[in-house]
Amino acid sequence: MQMTEDTYTNSFRKRMRVLLSPLRLVFFLAAIIISIVGNVVYISNGGGPEWLGLLSVIPIFAFAFWGSATDAKMRRLDREHREQAQ
């Protein structure tokens, strides 16, 4: 019985290690804190200023975009590596 390779696309552990590296984890926690603080200020001011509600979710969206871009890049590199091995 042949074992599967420990590639990025086949290994959940490897993906989590890449996507939640220490630097990314710090940025994720900072995005959560900024969102919480922004929403608290937004709600405590009775829904004003209006731009603060939108501004508080931008760090979360930026982190999600960064994670998606990194995942796509790693999958592409993994695919290229497998093609070269064949």
Every domain of the chain and the residues it spans: 21-85
- Kindly provide the b/e burial profile for residues 68-81, where b requires at least 16 CB atoms within 10 angstroms of the residue's own CB: eeeeeebeeebeee
The pair of structure tokens assigned to 34 is: 């900024």
**Residue 61 pLDDT > 50, yes or no?**
yes
pLDDT at 75: 94
As a whole number, mean pLDDT of residues 23-39 equals 91
pLDDT at 72: 95
